[in-house]
Structure 1
């Protein structure tokens, strides 16, 4: 009924409604900067790393990684000092006393190692989680690009044996994603 009303309001309006219903034509996709191809490609790594969202996450993880490395260096320096002191005290102790202190020191070293490994794994998991959030947020934008281009599929560029650079929409997708979600700080 609504379409009929639109038809009565003028042929130009009816044409616009019709074009909106059938989707874009190849000429329109080219006007939008999209390739006229049935298959598009995208580099998901470059999509993430090149987006404002990905750059923010990568910068945060690199910063936290650097802090973790500095903390690790401090712990290693402290443990080295403690080991040296323990070695110097060895001559003044019985073998049993030394063994007890050496075992306690070994447990301390192992505990620090496990703690640092857990922090590193948590940092890696955070990066994986952020990438998942990014892909969830980017999906509707990629679906729009697919629809607007008239293509049937978007393939991961690294999985394609051979393709033309003209089918790669990574840069277009990055621009759209940046415009839609920015760095995503408030969306996580």
Structure 2
């Protein structure tokens, strides 16, 4: 995804879930435009990224966002380096990378931020009411008589990567959306061109 936005990847070693290893990673990223971490951003015993980077001078802009998947995300600055801490669950990391990392790279490159293409669609299956976080549901798309039909996958757990790999789009559900029936209108983000070129 970084290459697709024109970025150059400098891959650091995997950091152990220890303060000293994470501090070393923060120091190794000096001189980079952006440091992207995967995992360690939540509230468990081994989620140490925010605290360890804080000890290295992280100026935290925000931590935790009201979306699903992807709540435990970190953004701030380590000196001159932008820092984006993606969640550890693979689907959460991918969705956050699409919505935040790609546009941030665009901005750092002097371009207008690009987001995945957003289109109207017809819902292919009923959905229960949504909770307090904006939801991005993996779905298949098919062209029909009434336009695009987006059918959400039955399994939406953020650890199930195969659903993301097989998805054509993400259905966007606003916070506290009421129950939806098949045939209702929704908005989707296309995944085929979402990482940009």
TM-score normalised by L of structure 2: 0.23
| Rg larger for | 1
Q: TM-score, normalised to structure 1's length?
A: 0.24
Q: Which has the higher contact order (CA 8 A, sep 6+)?
A: 1
**Larger helix proportion, structure 1 or 2?**
1
Which structure dedicates a bigger proportion of its chain to strand? 2
